[in-house]
Structure 1
Amino acid sequence: MSRRRSIDWVAVHQAALHDQIRHADLLELGVLSSTIARRVHAGTWGRSAFGVISLTGPPRTLDQRLAGAVLYGGPGAVLSGVAAARLHGLERLPNQPAGTALLLIGHDKHRVSRGLITVERTTRLPEPRAIRGLPVAPVTRAVVDAAKRLEGTDQIRAFLAETVQRRFTTATALRTELEAGSGRGTAKVRPVLVEIEDGVRSVPEAKARALAASIPDLPPMMWNPRLVLDDGTWLADPDGWLDDVGLAWEIHSFRHHADPDAFDDTLSRQARITSTGVHVIAHTPRQIESDRGRVRADLLAAYRAASLRPRPAVTALPAA
């Protein structure tokens, strides 16, 4: 009479990551291949990444899919790119199929990319941070790895700008990481990073910067400077600033107009700035995109008008 094999199912579930476990680990824990196949066929279990079994049926959550990717990568694998940036809390991310993952593994390891999982061997394997139980690359590495794989310039702009605007990292740290890594994919990131280093913190500001730079009669514009009064009191952080005449340029997005509180804050800030003698001109992103000639004329007229008045007593400090 055959004896039923005794399996420690508690140990099986404890060995899983978000209910995902390697096929080889199941065998090591005493689960027969026939049992695995039978449960997968019945739908009780499911197949996750290559060589990985989901103990709750086909993986349904993003964490389960990413866990399957990590287990496929093997010991030491680290999540990077867009998936890692999302886990860090970034929001302006490109749409990707659920479970798309960039895995970093040591240069001495051998794994091939499969399906939604891209594997990159590296001699600079970062020390991961555990987020929701998953090994995640530091945010600066994740962002640079992702940016190098994005296609559109505006996608890269929005991505890098959010990272710095929300203080996940700094322009200096992004530059250091970009220069330290592989050169593949960096050509499209470099000009955007120059914009970020110049103080630009959004896609509309990047386009405004290009427009302003195309006007020969305007001096270089500062972006997102910190304006302070002579006694050190903070005044405002305008989007653009022409320091020689004290002219502020504001880019008013639809989001601020659609949000009553944000719009009220914008108007209050503008009143506070003008009360000190600063000249303010404002445009919308749509105007900058579709009516460039008018915007150029507005900027030049505002600059000339501001130059006829005493410069306001404010100091502009570079963007943080």
Structure 2
Amino acid sequence: MPRRTIADWDGVATAATYGVITARALDELGVPRQTVYHRASIGGPWKRLLPGVIMLSSGTPTREQRLDAALQYAGTGAMITGIAACRLHGMTQFPGTEEVHMLIPEARKRASKEFVEIERTTRLPRPASQGGFRVAPLVRALLDAARRLPTLDQVRALLAEAVQRGMVTAEALAKEAKAGSRRGVARCRVVLEELGANVHSAAEGWAYRLARKAGLPRMQWNVRLLGPDGKLLGVPDGWIDEVGLAWQIDSLNFHLRPAGYENTVRRHTLMTAAGVVVVHTLPKHIRSNPAAVLDELRRSYQVARQRPRPRVTAVPHTTERR
């Protein structure tokens, strides 16, 4: 595009959808470089957000302006991934950050700057459009974000939300984890194993790991428990089918869509009335006193063995409709 001799300010307004434009585009629209320099200098009416990227106002950029600036800085074919992309896809369970993680073609030379993290990749996916921005598909964005999260519980919260809401499958996440970068993949594999067992939350993840040390029969997770009449009794967090033992992790803080205290009490009443032994545990006790929790589970299992198994049916998640 040839440089114009007279500044096309209408063209500038049209090109800067979010009030952000590259210095090169300003030059092509006839805005003198000296004008750009002075307006974007400290105290001026414009602001330099990234090398070669100008916000046509001063002050703090909005989230949309930061995203647009990141895309313009990264160049043709680039796309947003990681937490910023997960937010655009509608996710909510992630730590707050203003960083914008970008994927660019392997051959392009571009360095991470300011709030933009650049990742060159040979596995550039087909982009999606979310909120008017070019973003990586959710499966890729989730794994790109999860690999960089510092704690296992943050990875659990992020991936579990997407699976619980039916936005992705655990199988698709596992496939992407296998194909992608090795960075941070160990924590992802831990969570993917839990998701494969139908574990839904951080607290259930702790319980899942602890139950494997109990020396008890295999525990199933989040099965639908039906009474003799086929009516739903509840969906216990953990379930030992051999003896009809249910394990409830009692915390509203660790479930994405809690049924509420009233529903919890009602389900407990239905299960105990059907003869199910129900063990209730607070998440904090799993972390602070795991030995006591294991002891309670084992004692409750022995109690459950002493009476006939109740006439209830557990429907595993693998046979449920989705």
TM-score, with structure 1 as normaliser: 0.90
SS at 2:205 equivalent:
helix
- Is the 2:234–2:267 contact (alpha carbons within 8 Å) kept by the matching residues of 1? yes
SS at 1:316 equivalent:
strand
Deviation digits for residues 126-185 of structure 1 (CA, Å, limit 9, x no counterpart): 222222221111111111011111121222122222222222212111101111212222
- Is the 1:245–1:307 contact (alpha carbons within 8 Å) kept by the matching residues of 2? yes
Structure 1's consecutive aligned runs of 4 or more residues displaced over 6 angstroms after TM superposition are none
Deviation at residue 191 of structure 1 after TM alignment: 1.7
2:250 matched residue in structure 1:
252
- Is the 1:46–1:59 contact (alpha carbons within 8 Å) kept by the matching residues of 2? no
1:129 matched residue in structure 2:
128
- Is the 2:201–2:254 contact (alpha carbons within 8 Å) kept by the matching residues of 1? no
1:69 matched residue in structure 2:
70
Find out whether 1:31 has 2:31 as its counterpart.
Answer: yes
1:222 matched residue in structure 2:
220
Q: Which moved more, 1:112-121 or 1:70-79?
A: 112-121
Give me the whole-angstrom Cα distance separating, in 2, the residues matched to 1:39 and 1:279: 72
Q: Structure 1 stretches of 5 or more lacking a match?
A: none
Give me the whole-angstrom Cα distance separating, in 1, the residues matched to 2:74 and 2:258: 48
SS at 2:108 equivalent:
coil
Deviation digits for residues 75-100 of structure 1 (CA, Å, limit 9, x no counterpart): 1111001111122222221232x2x0
Map 1:193-212; keep pairs closer than 5 Å: 193-212=192-211
Give me the whole-angstrom Cα distance separating, in 2, the residues matched to 1:232 and 1:204: 29
Give me the whole-angstrom Cα distance separating, in 1, the residues matched to 2:62 and 2:271: 48
Find out whether 1:181 has 2:176 as its counterpart.
Answer: no
2:55 matched residue in structure 1:
54
- Is the 1:59–1:65 contact (alpha carbons within 8 Å) kept by the matching residues of 2? no
Map 1:269-288; keep pairs closer than 5 Å: 269-288=267-286
Map 1:34-113; keep pairs closer than 5 Å: 34-41=34-41, 42-96=43-97, 98=98, 100-113=99-112
SS at 1:18 equivalent:
coil
2:298 matched residue in structure 1:
300
Give me the whole-angstrom Cα distance separating, in 1, the residues matched to 2:230 and 2:17: 53
Deviation digits for residues 28-55 of structure 1 (CA, Å, limit 9, x no counterpart): 1111111212222353211112210111
- Is the 1:47–1:58 contact (alpha carbons within 8 Å) kept by the matching residues of 2? no
Find out whether 1:291 has 2:289 as its counterpart.
Answer: yes
SS at 2:313 equivalent:
strand
Deviation digits for residues 200-228 of structure 1 (CA, Å, limit 9, x no counterpart): 11111111112111112x11111112223
- Match for 1:142: what amino acid? A
SS at 2:185 equivalent:
coil
Give me the whole-angstrom Cα distance separating, in 2, the residues matched to 1:20 and 1:184: 33
- Is the 1:199–1:318 contact (alpha carbons within 8 Å) kept by the matching residues of 2? no
In structure 2, relative to structure 1, the CA distance for the partners of 1:95 and 1:262 (3 Å cut) is same
- Is the 1:256–1:263 contact (alpha carbons within 8 Å) kept by the matching residues of 2? no
- Match for 1:140: what amino acid? V
Q: Which moved more, 1:69-78 or 1:230-239?
A: 230-239
Give me the whole-angstrom Cα distance separating, in 2, the residues matched to 1:249 and 1:73: 50
1:151 matched residue in structure 2:
150
- Match for 1:197: what amino acid? G
- Is the 1:48–1:58 contact (alpha carbons within 8 Å) kept by the matching residues of 2? no
In structure 2, relative to structure 1, the CA distance for the partners of 1:14 and 1:272 (3 Å cut) is farther
TM-score, with structure 2 as normaliser: 0.90
Find out whether 1:315 has 2:316 as its counterpart.
Answer: no
Deviation at residue 231 of structure 1 after TM alignment: 5.8
Corresponding residue pairs, total: 313
In structure 2, relative to structure 1, the CA distance for the partners of 1:116 and 1:230 (3 Å cut) is same
Deviation at residue 66 of structure 1 after TM alignment: 1.5
Deviation at residue 64 of structure 1 after TM alignment: 0.9
